[in-house]
Amino acid sequence: MKRKIILSTVLLLILSLVIVPEAESQQRKAGLTGMSFLNVGVGARPVAMGSAASSFSNDVNQMFWNPAGMALRDERYQGTFSYNDWIAGISQNAAAFSYNAGEFGTFGIGFVAFGVSGIPANRQRDFGIPEIDEFVTDGATSATYDYQDVLVQLSYARYFAERLSLGVNFKYINQSIDDQSVGAFAVDLGSVYEIGIADWKIAARMSNLGSDYKYYNISNMIPLTFSVGTSARPVQTDIGSLLIALDAVKPQDGAQYYHIGGEWTFMNTISFRGGYRFNYSGTKTDQGGERLSVDNTIEGFSLGAGINATVSNINVRVDYTMTVMDILDNVHRISVHFGAR
């Protein structure tokens, strides 16, 4: 009976990833969601593999991707710190910690800060046009202002069967621009199932199911996203192993995207990674009726590397990733991961 309930839950989640986005896409237009920092990948390793991270497991950083992958088997705890030198002077800092409570599951807490400070402020309040002046609401007086997004989340994951883990995130999201601040709550749900051959896994996740947020009288949605993914190690030798991963990602307000990545690990010590995200080019019709190609992201391929070591019975991994950007400077990420039994 328990097995039937678990399998039914997984099937319903997978069906929701396939059916619900199609229905919603008929009602939503692209570009209507906000809090876009939630779409910026956290962690150097998953981003290096093209963000095809839904089916990764046994990793505290998975609370930012698929919470089911946070479930720990052997280690007692894990922690991670990440820094992302994002575009236009914006930085992303993230930290997470998880604790394995045995049969009670794995508990975690995560934090993301995303923003930039010291932006010059134009405080013009009198335009000489009454119809416009009456709508000016800027009451701040400083010469500069800050933009800051903050995410705080509590996470839980557990193996409900030998090969099946389920997970959930409870999120509080805050965005502040100058003297204005708004907040929202959201939930993530995820599952990872291990096939048992060649480290093959399949996964499904739903991210950012939550409340809208409002600036003045205008409501905005947070970016609800549905994903399914798989990964496997087709090559495993004494010298090294090859991991390949593929995700299909369906945002609520956009087309379906595909993420693919690979990782070669040598002697379980040094890893080399690469990845790419497909189908981010759409079309739009200009005033003359001509259909033009429009890119939904300026991100190109990603390349990265990592090194593993054991220091005083603590497993430490340092990862680095560079993402090529189409117009702006390339983006660099670095992460430090640690865990102990």
Work out the number of other CB atoms within 10 angstroms of the CB of residue 99: 17
Question: pLDDT tens digits, the chain, 341 residues: what are they?
Answer: 555 555 555 554 555 545 444 444 444 455 567 888 999 999 999 999 999 999 999 999 999 999 999 999 989 999 999 999 998 889 999 999 999 999 999 999 999 999 998 888 877 666 667 766 666 666 677 778 889 999 999 999 999 999 999 999 999 999 998 888 899 999 999 999 999 999 999 999 999 999 888 877 778 899 999 999 999 999 999 999 999 999 999 998 778 899 999 999 999 999 999 999 988 765 555 556 565 555 667 788 999 999 999 988 899 999 999 999 877 789 999 999 999 98
> Tokens standing for 300?
């190109």
21 three-state secondary structure: helix
Rounded CA-CA distance 144/240 in Å is 52
pLDDT of residue 23: 41
Matching CATH number, 2-340, of 2.40.160.40, 1.10.1040.10, 1.10.1840.10, 3.10.180.10: 2.40.160.40
Among 81, 46, 54, residue whose Cα is nearest residue 318? 81
Count other Cβ atoms within 10 Å, centred on residue 312. Answer: 6
Sequence-separated (6 or more) residues with CB below 8 Å from residue 310: 316
Going 42 to 43 to 48 to 50, the CA torsion angle's sign is: negative
Quick one: DSSP state of residue 69? Answer: G
123-137 burial, b if ≥16 CB within 10 A, otherwise e? eeeeeeeeeeeeeee
| Domain range list for the chain | 2-340
SS3 of residue 317 by DSSP = strand
What sign has the CA pseudo-torsion 249, 254, 256, 260? negative
Q: Look at residue 256 in the predicted model and tell me its pLDDT.
A: 87
pLDDT in the model for residue 292: 53
**Distance (Å, rounded) from C-alpha 164 to C-alpha 336?**
27
CA-to-CA separations, 248 to 55, 61, 190, 259, 326, in angstroms, rounded: 11, 20, 14, 6, 22
pLDDT at 329: 83
Q: Which two tokens stand for residue 81?
A: 């710190």
Burial annotation 200-227 (CB, 10 A radius, 16+ → b, else e)? ebbbbbbbbbbeebeeeeeeebbbbbbb
Query: CA–CA separation, 262 vs 34, rounded Å?
Result: 31
For 85-128, the DSSP string reads E-GGG-EEEEEEEEEE-GGG-EEEEEEEEEEEEEEE-------S
CA distances from 241 to 234, 263, 304 (A): 8, 8, 16
* 302 close to 47: Cβ distance less than 8 angstroms: yes
Name every residue whose Cβ is closer than 8 Å to that of residue 237 and which is 6 or more positions away in sequence: none
List the end-to-end C-alpha distance of the chain, in Å, as a whole number.
Answer: 33
Distance CA 340, CA 84 (A): 25
Alpha-carbon distance of 186 to 153, in angstroms, equals 9
Torsion of CA 250, 255, 256, 259, to 10 degrees: -100
pTM for this predicted structure: 0.86
CA angle 257, 259, 265 (to 5 degrees): 175
Q: How far is CA 72 from CA 3, 85, 225, in A?
A: 21, 29, 25
The two structure tokens encoding residue 68: 């089911």
